[in-house]
Chain A
Amino acid sequence: MQKLLDIILYPYRAIMEHIRFKKRLKELQKRDPFIYK
Chain B
Amino acid sequence: MDKLWIFGDSFAVGQHKCAWSRLLVEHFEIKNQATNGSSEYRIWRNYKDHADKIISTDRILFCHTSPTRVYLKDKQTIISRLRESHSVCDLIFADIFAKKEKKFISILKHIWDDRYFEDTYDLLVADLMHVPNSIHINFFVKGPFNTIWTNNPGDINHMSEAGNRLVLKEVLSKFKE
Residues of A participating in the B interface, judged by any CB pair closer than 8 Å = 21, 24-25, 28-29, 31-36
- Partner of A36 from the list B80, B93, B109, B140 (CB cut-off 8 Å) is B80
A31 and B95 contact, CB distance less than 8 A: no
| Distance between Cα atoms of A35 and B94 in the complex (Å) | 6
| Distance between Cα atoms of A24 and B158 in the complex (Å) | 24
In the assembled complex, 13 residue pairs joining A and B whose CB atoms fall closer than 8 Å, in A order, are A21-B109, A24-B112, A24-B114, A29-B93, A29-B97, A32-B66, A32-B68, A32-B92, A34-B10, A34-B94, A34-B158, A35-B92, A36-B95
Chain A positions within 8 Å of B112 at CB level: 21, 24, 28
Interface flags for B49-69 (1: CB within 8 Å of A; 0: not) read 000000000000000001011
Chain B positions within 8 Å of A32 at CB level: 66, 68-69, 92-94, 140
| Distance between Cα atoms of A30 and B59 in the complex (Å) | 33
CB distance from B157 to the nearest CB of A (A): 12
Known: A34-B10, A35-B92. 18 other contacts (CB 8 A): A21-B109, A21-B112, A24-B114, A25-B97, A28-B68, A31-B66, A32-B66, A32-B68, A32-B93, A34-B37, A34-B158, A35-B94, A35-B95, A36-B36, A36-B37, A36-B80, A36-B83, A36-B89
Instruction: Please judge, given known A-B contacts A21-B109, A36-B37, A36-B83, whether A31 and B68 are in contact too, CB under 8 Å.
Output: yes
| Distance between Cα atoms of A33 and B139 in the complex (Å) | 12
* Interface status of B98 (Cβ within 8 A of chain A): yes
| Distance between Cα atoms of A34 and B11 in the complex (Å) | 11
Considering residues A25, A29, A35, A36, which has the most beta carbons from chain B within 10 angstroms of its beta carbon?
A36
Chain A positions within 8 Å of B93 at CB level: 25, 28-29, 32
